[in-house]
Every structure is written in C-alpha cells, then in structure tokens.
Amino acid sequence: MSTLYAGGLIFDGDGTLLEEHGLLVEGDRIKRVAPMGEFEGFADLRVDTAGGTLLPGLYDCHVHLCFDGAADPFAAMVKESDSSLTMRALGNAQANLRGGVTSIRDCGGKDYIEFAVRDSCNKRFFQGPSIRAAGRMICMTGGHGNRWGRVADGCDEVVKAVREQIHAGSDFIKIMATGGVMTPGVNPEDAHYSAEEMAAGIGEAQRFHKHTASHAQGRDGILNAVRGGIDSIEHGIFMDDRCCEEMKETGTYLVPTIAALKNILLHADKGIPDYAVEKARNVAEHHRRSIKLFYEAGGLIAMGTDAGTPFNKHGENARELEYMVEYGLEPKDALIAATANAADLVRENQRGRIREGSFADLLVVDGNPIDDIAMVAHRENHRLVVKNGELVAGSPGNGKLPR
C-alpha cells in the first residue's frame, strides 16, 4: 500500500521548505516528492499534515545507549548484569525513536553489549532507530573514559586498539583526545593523546574505511585530532580561531552536545558527583562561546546530545535543537544539523533528507519549526514518527504523541 503525506509544509533537510507538495511513500522508501497536482485522484492511505511540517527523522550523532541518564551513569551501569543492561539499552534506543530520532550514533558502550541492540534494530527484529556504534572508546591510561574504554598508550598500542574495534564489528572509531567532565581527576583542557598517537589511530581507522570521532574539549587536543584527520570533534568546549580555521579547511564537523552540560547544571543538586558539577560550571560559558564562534565562522555542525549522561534522557534528544538556537544558530541551520549534516557526517546517503529513493524516516510536527524551533524541540508538538515507512508513534489523524 502507498501512503501520501499532504496538506502541510515539507522541510527537505537541506534547508528548503516546500509548500503545496505531497510526499508519497511506498514500502520503506520515499517514492515521490512533487506538487500536489500530481497526486490528484490518489486512492490509497492519505495522511493530512495540514497546519504542520513534515521533515526527515532526526539524527543524533552522539548517544550512549548503555547509560540511562542517572545522576552517576557509570555507577549505575556497573551494578547491572549484562543481560539487564542489554534490555535497558534496547529500551533507550526505542525511547530515542519515539522522540523523533530515527537514527543514532552510539559513541561508546560497555563490552560491545550495545552491538546486540544495534544489530537487532538494524535488522528490524525489534522496533528501533538505525544505529551505528563505536564499540569501546579508546583512551590513554588514566584518561577520560578509562573506567570502561579500551586503554592504549603509544602509537602501536593505539593502532592495535583500533584494529580490535574493527574486528569486533564497530561502525566507526572514537578516540579520546582530552580530559572530560564525567571522569574524576582529569582536566577537560588537557590534551591526552599526543599528535602522533591521534594520527596513528585515525589513520588506521581510515585505512579500513571507518569514519572517526574524537571526544575533544581542550584546544590542543582538538588541534591534534583535526590535524590527524578526524571526522568530528565531540563537544569542542575550548575552541579558538585557530581551531575554527583548521576545522573549516579540513571539513571537520562539530557535534556540540549542549544538552550534556545543560542537564548537569539544571540538576546539580540531585546526586551528580561534585567533581562533575564543578567542572561543568567551569566550562559552560567557554562551550557557549566556542559554538557561537564556530557557527559564525561557517563551520559544519551535526546534532549530538550525549544522551544517557546525567539527567540527559533518551527520548528528549530533540531539545538539543532548542539549545543550539539559544546558543546562536538560526532555526533552519539547527534543523540541517539534525538531518542532512548528521547523515553526511556518518556517510549515510539514504537518510537525513526528504528525497526520492531515501528511506521513509519521517517526523511530522505542529506549525513551522523554522519560525518556532519548539515545534520540533518539544515532544508535545510532535504528531507522528515514521520509521522505514511504518508508523511507530503518534497518529495519522493529527493526534499528538503520548509522553
């Protein structure tokens, strides 16, 4: 059966807002996007989107399925059995989908547990978003993420760690360039891996056609990652003009993850470790300035939330769009970051855009999110979510999604 979505606006992911157009879905693909006159006499299922906007399902480039937004996610994770954690990760993946996020990139899990969830969702055994997973994040001895990552020191060991992730089935490689907020005893501004170690790990990933991401907060670590050929800088808290210039030259994306710091600061009195709260307070304004600096320089931005970190709940990912606008992005550019740019970053050419032949991953919201980003950022304004052509949340009769 074919389904025609018609009556409202269509945002294509690249920045164009179409009026008086319809979108025809057949099976799991977008069959046609055309002016409404072409669909005169259409007799199959019709979904009325009047008063709303249809856009590509959102793409979150930075989540942690094994974390559930607890005040201390690591402490909560290590208390669970592997089987329990697997089920929790599946539930988190499905929460992302119900929140309008039809594709995600998991930036580090526990002992490859998230791979079972990835494979089950991607093979459509279970309802869930499309998932790409890094496996174990690679970090230095004592570095950020060392409690659950793959610790490696020196170029040879970093190369070996990359090969282990590839052998395990990782879709991309994540390397920790600096300290971070959620690891005790490390400074977010410190570069951890040397430039040579970063380049060795990135080069090995590229040799096997894997894209790369780097947790990178301090300036020197950001530059080490960019000069080594990294595809995306995660967080980018202490960027400066040199970072912006070199990232633009190399086409390196920034994945800001504003929600991670925001939620620590909003819930500072609810059991989050004191060291994390203190560091979040120290870096928050630097983060805001860096994002604005990079955006105004014309850099490439892809949406990522760090969902799973303290009080940063899976399923509330779309709030990142509102935060990006608050930090200086125009609403249209925030939407591009969450759709076309995110898909381009992960080298996915069949999602993230409304175009013929792409998978029918769709989100329908009230109003026009270019005029009011809250229409997509707040779940109460979502009407329906479609994954691979199938309705997974909401109602085709203009019903709202349950919270």
| 137 contacts 182 by C-beta, under 8 angstroms | no
| 307 contacts 290 by C-beta, under 8 angstroms | no
Mean pLDDT of 383-391: 98
Q: Which helix (H) or strand (E) holds 86?
A: helix 82-98
Residues 20-40: pLDDT tens digits?
A: 999 999 999 999 999 999 999
Nearest to 221 by CA among 247, 199, 192, 201: 192
The domain segmentation of the chain, as residue ranges, is 2-56+352-394, 58-345
Nearest to 308 by CA among 60, 119, 21, 28: 60
Q: How far apart are CA 126 and CA 123, in angstroms?
A: 8
* Residue 402: partners with Cβ closer than 8 Å, 6 or more residues away: none
Residue range 2-56+352-394 in CATH 2.30.40.10? yes
Residues 338-376: pLDDT tens digits?
A: 999 999 999 999 999 999 999 999 999 999 999 999 999
Residues 304-340: pLDDT tens digits?
A: 999 999 999 999 999 999 999 999 999 999 999 999 9
Pairing of strands 362-366, 52-56: antiparallel
> How many other β-carbons are positioned within 10 Å of the β-carbon of residue 35?
11
Query: What integer pLDDT is reported at residue 78 of this predicted model?
Result: 87
- pLDDT at residue 397 tops 80: no
Pairing of strands 362-366, 382-387: antiparallel
Q: What is the DSSP letter of 89?
A: H
| 225 contacts 233 by C-beta, under 8 angstroms | yes
Q: How far apart are CA 325 and CA 303, in angstroms?
A: 12
Mean pLDDT of 378-403: 82
Q: Do domains 2-56+352-394 and 58-345 have the same CATH topology?
A: no
* CATH code for the structural domain at 58-345: 3.20.20.140
* Residue 352: partners with Cβ closer than 8 Å, 6 or more residues away: 13, 56, 59, 103, 339, 340, 341, 342, 343, 344, 358
Residues 223-238: pLDDT tens digits?
A: 999 999 999 999 999 9
Pairing of strands 29-35, 45-48: unpaired
Q: In the predicted model, what is the mean pLDDT of the chain?
A: 96
* Residue 207: partners with Cβ closer than 8 Å, 6 or more residues away: none
Which pair of structure tokens corresponds to residue 54? 């249809």
End-to-end CA distance of the chain: 29
Q: Side chain identity at 126, as an amino acid letter?
A: F
- pLDDT at residue 402 tops 90: no
Which pair of structure tokens corresponds to residue 65? 């399925």
Residues 73-129: pLDDT tens digits?
A: 989 988 999 999 999 999 999 999 999 999 999 999 999 999 999 999 999 999 999
Q: How far apart are CA 149 and CA 399, in angstroms?
A: 43
Q: How far apart are CA 394 and CA 162, in angstroms?
A: 41
Helix/strand/coil percentages in the chain, nearest 5:
35, 25, 40
- pLDDT at residue 285 tops 90: yes
CA-CA-CA-CA torsion sign (343, 316, 367, 322)? negative
Pure H helices in 268-373: 274-296, 319-326, 331-337, 340-345
Q: Cα separations (Å) of 152 from 88, 139, 144, 184, 376?
A: 29, 6, 12, 19, 41
- pLDDT at residue 403 tops 60: no
Which pLDDT band, with edges at 50, 70 and 90, does 395 fall under? Answer: confident
- pLDDT at residue 202 tops 90: yes
Pairing of strands 2-6, 21-26: antiparallel
